[in-house]
Structure 1
Amino acid sequence: MNISLIFAGGVGTRMGNKAKPKQFLELYGKPVIIYTLEHFENNDDVDAIVIVCKHEWIDYLKKLLERFNINKVVKVISGGETGQESIFNGIDYIHKNYNEDSIVLIHDGVRPLINQDIINKNIKSVIDNGSAITSCPPVETFVRVDKNNKVMDVHDRSMSRLAKAPQSFYIKDIYYAHKKAIDDKYFEAIDSCSLMRHYGFNVHLIDGISENIKITTPIDFYIFKAIVDAKEQTAIFG
């Protein structure tokens, strides 16, 4: 089976909105999290969706799922104190309730601009290579600096990629890595890709799209709106 694990546990501090977490901000009457979920809901190869959410927002989220006819969600789970702990809560549920050879697609609830091709590529890459890290080339130069902001190195963009999401694995592999991290008290992983690499797994990149942004700041939300508007205009006028 193919299960999507959606992380919706952020509080939106950098968004500057204290009333509502960023995944629940609305564009044209639809919350960001629903834009995200619809991609997985409408994919024929996705069998189920599990969501990790802050405990106090679970009832609100369930009402949204009903309102927008998101029917593949089988469980909404409370998040933990950290992102790593929250993802493990979802991984643990999937490991207990599905075959360990099932594929899990781990995705941010605030990345609503993925598409069906990216989801399909993730599933195929796990079958072919054991993993899938959605990525795209950087468009700007980035550098490595020391603690005094002195430039230590300029990276070759042709040999670099931006890691995005989904990040997908067999459930048995990602479960093992999380359990090992708990045993080792290793809590520094910034995402599933870094966790898997830390424990010796080879991870395979797939090509994504640059607009697959994570909505973290107000400018990200405005970019999201601009892209949605552009797609709407294209659909109307061709």
Structure 2
Amino acid sequence: MSVEIRRGTARFTEREVGRATRHAFSFGAVYDPAHVAFGPMICHDEHLLGDGRGFDTHRHAGLEIVTWVVSGALTHTDSAGAAHTLVAGEVGHLHAGSGVEHSEVAAAPQTRFVQVWLRSEDTGQPSYGVHAVSRGELVEALEVNGSTLWVSHLAAGGSVALPVVDRLHVYVASGALLRNSLAEPLAAGDALLATEEPGPLVATAAVDSVLLVWALAAEDQTT
């Protein structure tokens, strides 16, 4: 069993006018050999955008791109004809397939969102989908190529037993967790990475909290 706590403060931050991005894994010119990927997850970013700021049209291929808006709103537009403004409580899923161009622009005075990239060998037609997520202790939001995303809304003092899987990634999107079976308190922006079925872990909220919980596919399902 292996459990690692990755503090939000340990991420490297990229800043531009109207945008701040915190990267969990190696990205662009910044290479961190200890943090290149976690199973099929090769990117786990948190973005903060000013109104009208974001990412102009750019291309992706061979990725599943999953976006969760923490606050504000984010407009996605792509070359496959999809256009949607994501708000809190929705998951956006871009299947880049053989290649697609898209843009992402904040549609609110301040927008905070989390985005994950998963490797994919599915080179079919690009597509984009939006999934509304109900509030609950552990709600399945999306399944893609053997990886599953759950979203957990916990009231202060509430607890949830996390899935027992070979590769687990838990991210505190907002709020904070108490010290318990996770071994250390976690704050917003922190993540827990666990491998080799660490047994039942329980998360207990110190304040109202939202967790993004990934059960990630085995390597042979994605590479």
TM norm structure 2 = 0.29
TM norm structure 1 = 0.27
Q: Greater strand share, 1 or 2?
A: 2
Max Rg structure: 1
